[in-house]
Structure 1
């Protein structure tokens, strides 16, 4: 299992639109084959900066999602709202404590 972290920064006037789009899409993303976990975070100080954390079984699962019509539809609505280039990291989870 690995974790995908995506940092996104939005024009402040577009934050509500982003949040509405995420609300409409989050269950479909989470239900995508290979996605085991999905969360959205908001920076405490820079409130126009958001992070998604998603857990994937394999890199191939994430790549199938990134090539899917679901992702392309979400991305086409999200990309115009950015005020900076998004950043993404794929990391291996080494430990998890409850």
Structure 2
């Protein structure tokens, strides 16, 4: 599983437009092959900062979404609303070795 987090900063006057884009596209994103989870977070201290948090079966599934027509519509519309560059990263759950209790 691949977890993708994208931090998005908007001009205050563009937050409503972003939320509309997200609401109109979230169900379609969730239906993309390999998408297992999608949610939107809002920064606790800065109401114009949001993060998308998604889970993908594989990096290939995320890449396929990023090459899709849906992404080709959603991302440019969202990107036009930014007031700062986005910060995106992918992570895997850590597989820590089991420890023996003393």
Within 1, Cα distance between the matches of 2:71 and 2:36? 16
* Gaps in structure 2 of 5+ consecutive residues: 96-102
* Gaps in structure 1 of 5+ consecutive residues: none
Q: TM-score, normalised by structure 1?
A: 0.94
3-state SS in 1 of match to 2:36: strand
3-state SS in 1 of match to 2:44: coil
Aligned length: 95
3-state SS in 2 of match to 1:32: coil
State whether structure 2 residue 30 is matched by structure 1 residue 64.
Answer: no
3-state SS in 2 of match to 1:6: strand
Correspondence list, 1:9-20, <5 A: 9-20=9-20
Within 2, Cα distance between the matches of 1:87 and 1:44? 17
